[in-house]
Amino acid sequence: MTVTRTIPDLSYLFNHTSHVLKTHMTAALDEIGLTPRMHCVLVHALEEERTQIQLAEVCDMDKTTMVVTLDALEKAGYAERRPSSRDRRARIVSVTERGAEIAERSMRIVDRVHGAVLEALPEGEREVFVRAMERLAGGHLAEPVDASCRRPRERAAAR
């Protein structure tokens, strides 16, 4: 028996291209000793005063991964945890001068990688592609669905 696909396999297209983009990004940022996660934290910490929890949310990291990433940034001298100027109980991530310099370099690398991806498309399709992705990311695919709340039997019965 064969199952006939009636709609393109978006899961494969998104997963595959996302995975390959991550490998390109990881290799490119490795040139300066950063990971994509380190880059994300530095760039977003420079935008405004953010707590570790806020940065984890923005960078789509769990708490453990965020701690490991911040430990690496602190060890490299790129960031430090400080008390918030707004709420002394909260700790914010402050980017050092060295961290701001490396974030600027990493942003150029990220722009180069993203630019290469867009250049792989015909010029007339680039803007349409970006607008469509922004629309999906800000709309229908903006928030994940919590599928973990269903019990295994319920998931099996739903199939």
CATH for the stretch 10-138:
1.10.10.10
On whether the pTM is more than 0.75, the answer is yes
What is the domain partition of the chain in residue ranges? 10-138
Strand 91-95 to 79-83 pairing: antiparallel
Work out the widest C-alpha separation in the chain, in whole angstroms.
64
Mean pLDDT of 115-130: 97
Burial of 21 per CB tally in 10 Å (0-12, 13-18, 19+): middle
Dump pLDDT digits (tens) for 27-82.
999 999 999 999 999 999 999 999 999 999 999 999 999 999 999 999 999 999 99
